[in-house]
Structure 1
Amino acid sequence: MSEEKTWAAPTASDPIDADVRVPGSKSITNRAFVLAALSSGETLVREPLDSRDARLMLGALDVLGAPSTETPDGVRVRPMTDGHGQTRVTLGNAGTVARFTPPLAALGSRTVHFDGDPAIRRRPVAPLLHALRTLGADIDDGGRGAVPFTVRGHGGLEGGFVELDSSASSQFLSALLLSAPAFARGVTVRLKGKTPSEPHIAMTLDMLRRFGAAPERDGSEFHVPPATLALDTYTVEPDLSSAAPFVVAPLLAGGRIRVAGWPAETTQPGDWLRSLVRELGGEAVLDDEGLTVTGDGTVRGAVLDLHAVGELTPVVAALLCFADGPSEIRGVAHLRGHETDRLAALATELTALGGDVTETEDGLRIRPTPLRGGVFHTYDDHRLVMAGAVLALRVPGIVVENPATVGKTYPGFVTDWERVLHVA
C-alpha cells in the first residue's frame, strides 16, 4: 500500500480480464474477536482481516484482559480475565471498537477510558451508552453522549430488559447482543425506530449461534440468554463490501473479473452486489471458484434503496455517474454519521468533478453528466478511496487524496487495483 498523500488512480484503457481475492471481512473479523474473548477457552480465528480496525480491536481486547497471538494459521484469542486499576482503550476511528468493547469493560472490574481520533468523537454512540446505563453500567461521558467516555467496571452486569434506538447504527444492537451471554440474566432488547443494515444484525445472530449462544428474535425484540461460549476455530469469509469496486469495474470498463472465494451462503450485506450487477445490465455467476462478473461498459440508471447495504453507497454512487439515465439512492440517511457525512462528501466531490449530484432527505439524486479529472477528497474515509478508484476507470486525471486511509479495511487495495488494471 502506497504511503503517498495522493494517488493518481488508473484509467481502464482495455476491457478487464482478471482474478482477485479480497481480504477477510472486517465486520466478521471483529465480531469473531469479541466472541472469542468472551469464550471459555482459546479460539483460533482463521483468515482474519489484518487492518487498522482489526488491530485496534485486538489492542482493545488485550487491554480488557483478552490477549491474542498471531500464528501462521490466524490469530489465537484467549478468554478475557478480570483485573483492577485504570487502563485506556484506543479507538482510532473504528466504529466496531467504539461500540463493541464498552459492554466488555462494564463486565469487568477495571476503570477504562475510551478515546480515539477526532473523527470518532463525531460518530454516534449515545443510544448505546444510555442502554448500558439502563442495564447497570457505570459510565461517565460528561453529558456529551459521545467519545471520550469512561466505563467503571464493578465486576459484572445483571442484564435484563432495555429499549434501544438503533436507527443511527445497527452496531448499537450488535454490541448488546454480542456481550449478552456474559450478563447474569442475559439481555432482552426492544428496538425503537428503523434499524439500518439488517444483514449485519443477521450476521451477529448467526455468529452468536456458532459460538454456542441461543439468541431469539420476535420482530423488533431480541433475547439472548446467559450462555457459556466456546468455539475452537472460526474461519472468516472474504469481505464482500470491499470487493465492491472490483465487482462493478466490468460494468464501466467492460470485460470480466472473478472474485475468488465468494461464499455460496452468507449474511454479509455485500452479497447484494450480485443482484445489483444484474439490475444494472451486467452478468454475475457464482460457482465453486467464486463470483465472475462480466459487463460491456454500459450501466442502466436505477432507483435503489440501499438502507440494508448503506456501506456500498460510495462505490454505487460513483458507478451511477456513468449510467444511461438519472438514478436515485434512497434509505441511507444514517450515512451522515459514518466515518464522515458520506452523503455530503459524495455530493460535494462528485459535483466538483462536473457531476450533477444532489442530496435528498435520505440519499442522493444523480444525473449523469460529463466528468473531468481533478482531486477527489476522501475525508479519511476508506469507502471514498474506493469510490475515487471507480470514477477513474472512465475519467483520466482523477487524483485520490490520502489513499492510505483504505488501510482501515483493505491495506492492499491500491496494489490489487493497479494489478487488475495492468498498471506497471
Structure 2
Amino acid sequence: MPTPARPVDATVRVPGSKSITNRAYVLAALASTATLVRHPLDSRDARLMIDALGVLGARSEHTDTAVRIHPLESRRCPDPAEIALGNSGTVARFTPPLAALGPATVRFDGDPALRRRPMAGVLRALRDLGVDIDDGGDPAPPFTVRGTGGVRGGVVDVDASASSQFLSALLLAGPAFREGITARLVGSAPPSGPHIAMTLDLLRTFGAAPLRDGTEFHVPPATLGCPDYTVEPDLSSAAPFLMAAALTGGSVRVLDWPASTTQPGDWVRSLLTELGVSVTTDERGVTATGSGVLPGAELDLHDVSELTPVVAAMLCFATEPSTIRGVAHLRGHETDRLAALATELSRLGGRVTETGDGLRIVPSPMRSGTFHTYDDHRLVMAAALIGLRVPGVAVENPATVGKTFPGFVEAWSGMLGA
C-alpha cells in the first residue's frame, strides 16, 4: 500500500452498504411487485445474493446504477436446486428461510471459510418452526432445505449470541410466514445491535409492521411492497478514509453521508471526535480533519464490531496503550479476526495481543513487511491504514476486498494521489 509524502487532502465517494443492499434484495424478492433498488453495492456478496434469489425464482434486471428485483416465483426454482454461498454470511443466513417457502429441495454450500462460520442459531430456529433441514448433524454448510411450499411460523426461541444475522434472517422472512413470527432471544445479547435496528427499519419501509418488546420481536404476516428504494453509502467502508485524515494530519470528505441512519459505521464520527479529530457534517457529507496525533482509548465495540480491524490498525499509532473489548464473536467471522489482527499487526512490529473478548494494543515502532489478509476484506482496509505511516507494507491478495468494496484499492490510491 502507498505511503503518502504529505497529509491527505481528498474527497471520496464510497459504494452502497452491503448490509442494506442484501436486506433490500431479500425484501424485494418477498414483495408483491417489482422493486427498483437504486445505488446498490455491486460486490461479490451482493452478486451471490442476487444469484441465490435467482435460483429461488426471483428474476433481476440490471442497469449501471440500479437493480430491479421481481417477486419470487417458486415455479422458476429447479428441483433439486443448489445455491452457492461463497463466504457471505448474509446469503448463508438470509436465504434458507426463503427456500423453505417454496416446494423445492435446495442444497447450500460455500467456500471452505464459510463452513467454519456459525449457522446453528438460524438452522435450529427454522427446524423448530417445522422446516425440514438436513445438515448431517453439523449445523454448517453444506446443508439442505426441503421446502414444503410454505412455513407456518409462530413463536420460536433464537440464540443470536454468535451473530445478529440469525435474528435478522427470521425477521426478514417473517411477513411471508402464514402466522408471521415471534422471535424470543435466548442466551447473551446479540452483537451488532444496529444491524437489528437496520432490519426493523427496512421491514417498515417495505410495508411490514415489526414490533419489539425487550428481547421479543414480532413480525405479523404482511403484503410487502416498495417500488423504489435507494441504498445508503457504506459507512463502514467509509471509516478507513476518515481515519486516514486522522493518521496523516490531513482532511478527507466522504460524500453523501446520510443525515439519519441505522448503520453501525456512523459511530466512526463519535470515535474520531473522542480522539481529538475535527469532524464536521454538511449537506455534501462528512469531513474529518486530523493532527496526526491520537491518544489511546478504552473501547467497547460490541455493537460496531465490523470496525474492529480498522480501529485496531489506527490505534497502533496512538501515543498510549488501547483496549478493544466486547468483540469475542469476531473469532467466527470471515476468519478469526482477533487472532489475525494480533498476528499481522505484531508481525509488523506492533504489540497487539488477544484478550478474552478483544485486543490490547501497546504502541510500538512498526516496520515494513507483508500483511496477510486471510481472505478477509476488512483486513485489507486495516493494512491500508498501516501503510499510511509505514513504507513498504505489502498486502497479500488485496482483491479480497471485493467482497464489499471492489474499487477500494483504486479509491485509496486516488485519495493519496498515487
TM-score (norm 1): 0.97
Cross-structure match for 1:416? 411
Alpha-carbon distance, 1:71 to partner: 2.3
Tell me if 1:353 matches 2:345: no
Partner-residue secondary structure (3-state), 2:236: coil
Pick from 191, 204, 214 the counterpart of residue 209 of structure 1: 204
Aligned ranges 1:123-142 → 2 under 5 Å: 123-142=117-136
Cross-structure match for 2:292? 297
Matched AA of 1:128: V
Pick from 263, 274, 282 the counterpart of residue 277 of structure 2: 282
Cross-structure match for 1:4? none
Partner-residue secondary structure (3-state), 2:221: coil
Tell me if 1:256 matches 2:257: no
Pick from 307, 326, 332 the counterpart of residue 327 of structure 2: 332
Tell me if 1:387 matches 2:382: yes
Pick from 150, 156, 159 the counterpart of residue 153 of structure 2: 159
Aligned ranges 1:24-423 → 2 under 5 Å: 24-83=16-75, 85-192=79-186, 193-423=188-418
Partner-residue secondary structure (3-state), 1:139: strand
Pick from 15, 20, 25 the counterpart of residue 23 of structure 1: 15
Q: Say if 2:40 and 2:65, in contact at 8 Å, map to a contact too.
A: no
Question: Separation in 1 of the partners of 2:112 and 2:47?
Answer: 19
Tell me if 1:10 matches 2:2: yes
Partner-residue secondary structure (3-state), 2:48: helix
Partner-residue secondary structure (3-state), 1:178: helix
Partner-residue secondary structure (3-state), 2:237: coil
Question: Separation in 2 of the partners of 1:67 and 1:380?
Answer: 30
Question: Separation in 2 of the partners of 1:421 and 1:311?
Answer: 24
Question: Separation in 2 of the partners of 1:73 and 1:27?
Answer: 17
Question: Separation in 2 of the partners of 1:353 and 1:249?
Answer: 19
Partner-residue secondary structure (3-state), 1:358: strand
Q: Say if 2:299 and 2:323, in contact at 8 Å, map to a contact too.
A: yes
Partner-residue secondary structure (3-state), 2:389: coil
Cross-structure match for 1:3? none
Alpha-carbon distance, 1:13 to partner: 1.1
Q: Say if 2:60 and 2:70, in contact at 8 Å, map to a contact too.
A: yes
Q: Which runs of 5+ in 1 are unaligned?
A: 1-8
Partner-residue secondary structure (3-state), 2:217: strand
Matched AA of 2:362: R
Partner-residue secondary structure (3-state), 1:107: coil
Alpha-carbon distance, 1:178 to partner: 0.2
Question: Separation in 2 of the partners of 1:255 and 1:406?
Answer: 24
Alpha-carbon distance, 1:250 to partner: 1.1
Matched AA of 2:92: A
Runs of 4+ with >4 A deviation: none
Alpha-carbon distance, 1:194 to partner: 1.1
Cα deviation per residue 1:217-243 (whole Å; 9 max; x = unaligned)?
000100000000011000000000001
Question: Separation in 2 of the partners of 1:253 and 1:176?
Answer: 43
Cα deviation per residue 1:401-424 (whole Å; 9 max; x = unaligned)?
00000000000000000011111x
Label 1:73 to 1:322 Cα distance change in 2 as closer, same or farther (>3 A): closer
Matched AA of 2:361: I
Question: Separation in 2 of the partners of 1:88 and 1:368?
Answer: 48
Partner-residue secondary structure (3-state), 1:147: coil
Partner-residue secondary structure (3-state), 2:289: strand
Matched AA of 1:417: W
Question: Separation in 2 of the partners of 1:247 and 1:165?
Answer: 35
Partner-residue secondary structure (3-state), 1:242: helix
Cα deviation per residue 1:261-312 (whole Å; 9 max; x = unaligned)?
0001000000000001111110111110000000010111000000000000
Question: Separation in 2 of the partners of 1:350 and 1:200?
Answer: 28
Alpha-carbon distance, 1:162 to partner: 0.5
Alpha-carbon distance, 1:136 to partner: 1.0
Cross-structure match for 1:5? none
Alpha-carbon distance, 1:73 to partner: 4.5
Identity of aligned residues (%): 69
Question: Separation in 2 of the partners of 1:110 and 1:319?
Answer: 48
Question: Separation in 2 of the partners of 1:151 and 1:296?
Answer: 54
Label 1:361 to 1:419 Cα distance change in 2 as closer, same or farther (>3 A): same
Alpha-carbon distance, 1:72 to partner: 4.3
Give the RMSD, CA atoms, in angstroms. Answer: 0.7
Question: Separation in 2 of the partners of 1:300 and 1:30?
Answer: 37
Partner-residue secondary structure (3-state), 1:393: helix
Partner-residue secondary structure (3-state), 1:217: strand
Question: Separation in 2 of the partners of 1:12 and 1:270?
Answer: 25
